[in-house]
Amino acid sequence: MKFNLFYSWHQVKSIFSYSWENTIFLYLIPLPLLIILIRLLVKRKKQSRVVLSFKAPFKQHKLTRILTFLPDTVLSLCMISLIVALADPYKSIYHTRIQQEGVDIAIGLDVSSSMLSKDVQPSRLAVAKQTAQAFIAGRKFDKIALVAFAGAPYLSSPITADSSFLSFSLRALSHQQVAEEGTALGDALGMCINQIREEANPKKIIILISDGNNTAGNLDPLTSAELAKTFKIKVYTIAVGSTKASLDPVDESTLRMIAQQANGRFYRARDKQTLQAIFREIDIMEKSRKLHIKEVEHKSAAPVFFQLAFFLFFINLLLKVLGISNTLED
């Protein structure tokens, strides 16, 4: 076993700066010294008996006398090292980890027939898909859900951080994906809420993109907006369509009331450039934030003292093999 003596001595020297997992073992540290003391007293008592001898007393060399104490000393240190290891000394090392906290987002996109209007080239739906695609690509730390809706809502993608899947789901959106005709703003908003309301992240937003003509569904849009407010979800609404006369006019009023009710903001996108600017503004307002997380690591020194105990035990065995007897033994 490789044993780094210098490192081990450094650990022993700084032992008083450690905390202890099992402090009860520290009360056993005097035990090895007490055992040696008792054995020494017993030996001296034996030596105090008067022994008659006609021979001159044998004088031990000074080095020999020192060496005879070595086995007990090594064994005591071995036992103390083992006790310290069982007490499990450790140091608390503090780290600061930086983590990006994203935003949980649900995007509701109107795919009804009115969104096929070409007053915004190439169409309201095509421009909305392209702009949402670029927005998703830039949200690296967010989880996003995608809901398509016409006369009923359709979950295109549950909430996920997989931007590739989201991008695929968004590209696949089409008018044919939802069979029911009409625009169910309330139901769509309700499905968006259900996708993010249970998430632990406190930052939750919904981006609802439509031409605003609420013509279907079971839930009233303002009821859904009030529900979003209850779950502390901010709702941004975007009305897509030009101000020119059209067979499918844009209804701003419902979308405006939804945003106001849910502590969000209403936008009007008259063309592609305006819609892109709106998404950039939302991107800036709803930035992910850096969290400085403090972590504590407990670094145990017990393995070092187990190694030291093993090393001293080996030395003790070696001394016995070499025939260096203990002065406390007969």
34-48, 129-143, 181-195: range with lowest mean pLDDT: 34-48
Q: Each residue of 136-159: pLDDT tens digit?
A: 999 988 999 999 999 999 999 999
Where residue 329 falls among pLDDT bands split at 50, 70, 90? very low
29-38, 159-168, 207-216, 262-271: range with lowest mean pLDDT: 29-38
Amino acid 61: pLDDT: 52
What is the reported pTM?
Answer: 0.63
Q: Which residue has the higher pLDDT, 127 or 320?
A: 127
Domains belonging to the chain, first-starting first, are 5-48+58-94+299-321 (no CATH), 103-287 (3.40.50.410)
Where residue 50 falls among pLDDT bands split at 50, 70, 90? very low
Integer CA distances (angstroms), 4 to 79, 195, 311, in order: 20, 56, 11
Peptide bond into 71 cis (omega under 30): no
Amino acid 292: pLDDT: 63
Identify how many contiguous H helices and E strands the chain contains and give both numbers.
11, 9
For the cut 80, the answer to whether the pLDDT of residue 176 exceeds it is: yes
Amino acid 5: pLDDT: 44
Amino acid 323: pLDDT: 66
For the cut 60, the answer to whether the pLDDT of residue 28 exceeds it is: yes
The CA distance from 320 to 209, in Å, is: 87
Q: Each residue of 270-291: pLDDT tens digit?
A: 999 999 999 999 999 998 776 6
Cβ neighbours for 54, distance < 8 A, ≥ 6 positions apart = none
Amino acid 328: pLDDT: 41
46 HSE (CA, 13 A, CB side): 10
